[in-house]
Homo-oligomer: A and B are copies of this chain.
Amino acid sequence: MLNLRGFCGYMTSGGTEANIQALRAFRNLKGRGNFIAPESRHFSVDKASEVLGIEMKLAPLNDEYQMDASSLEDMIDDETIGIVALLGSTELGQIDPLEEISKIASEHEIPLHVDGAFGFFVVPFLYPDFRFPEYLSSISGDPHKMGMSVIPSGILLFSEKRFLEALRIETPYLTTKHQYSLPGTRPGASAAATYAVMEHLGKRGYRQIVEKCMRNTRALIELMSELGFHPAIEPKMNIVVFETGEVDRIREELMKRRWLISKSFRPLGMRFVIMPHVEEENLKLFVEDLKRIL
């Protein structure tokens, strides 16, 4: 299903560790400098920049809130050690134009990391024709999000062993001779749990889960449209934002009725992540209460 033969990697504590480690590998291979990420990047990319001491240059977004790939040529310089692109932005679940970004990264021989914290366990099941671009250095995914596994559970995959080797630390007193992870002692149980869940659900199971989530995402859009709210973009996955300048007042009023909703900043609005435990009945009850406070 995924065209990632020959990749290697390890299980992280989640997307933040994966983003730090991918950029650390790029930095250790090329030296300090800058990397490029879209304005829609997750805040863990900012954390990676600070921790690793690599300048972050933010690529603008297009009208669809994707990284504007046409800006890349001008942003890349001799000090650029990597590019981060998103398979599922935090706010909107948007997918950056991976093929186009990959082509530019390849021409400049700059490593490309795809942050798939949310999308890795969604996109291949919603869009079975989806393929990662040919030129790609690393990908992250979070089994503890849409992979239905326990916390902490993350995946980091590298296209070549040299990226993994760039993270190597000698471990003199352990039975293993070296370590690649950011933390030291880690729970093996969550790796076993993730394997068990993946074996149990299989492709068919994940497909059913994401389809249910998308059915409910569409149901929410329909219910919200009756109240005059419309999605900022056509959702690419089970994340949807309804633009409204009134989001703060709405949140406050909803809180009194024990509904806690998320706020998106760009675009400004009400943000929903329709996870597998959400039923259509919950959405109807929510929209009824929302109607009362408008």
Question: Which residue, of A32, A43, A90, has the highest number of chain B Cβ atoms within 10 A?
Answer: A43
Partner of A182, one of B28, B150, B182: B182
Instruction: Known A13-B186, A16-B183; judge A173-B91 contact (CB<8 A).
Output: yes
Find chain B residues with CB under 8 A from A152 CB: 13, 152, 183, 185-187
Check if A52 is an interface residue, CB within 8 A of chain B: yes
B-contact bits for A150-188, CB 8 A (1 contact / 0 none): 111000000000000000011111010001001111110
Name A237-281 residues within 8 Å CB distance of B.
Answer: 260, 262-265, 271
Distance, CA A144 to CA B14, complexed state (A): 20
Partner of A173, one of B24, B53, B151, B262: B262
The answer to whether B184 touches A16, judged by C-beta atoms less than 8 angstroms apart, is yes
The answer to whether B184 touches A151, judged by C-beta atoms less than 8 angstroms apart, is no
The answer to whether B43 touches A172, judged by C-beta atoms less than 8 angstroms apart, is yes
Distance, CA A142 to CA B184, complexed state (A): 11
Q: Which residues of A contact B (CB under 8 A)?
A: 13-17, 20, 24, 28, 32, 43-44, 46-47, 50-53, 90-91, 142, 144, 150-152, 169-173, 175, 179, 182-187, 260, 262-265, 271
Can you sample 19 A-B contacts with CB below 8 Å?
A13-B13, A13-B183, A16-B182, A16-B185, A17-B182, A17-B183, A43-B170, A43-B171, A44-B184, A51-B52, A52-B53, A53-B53, A151-B186, A152-B183, A152-B185, A152-B186, A152-B187, A173-B262, A173-B263
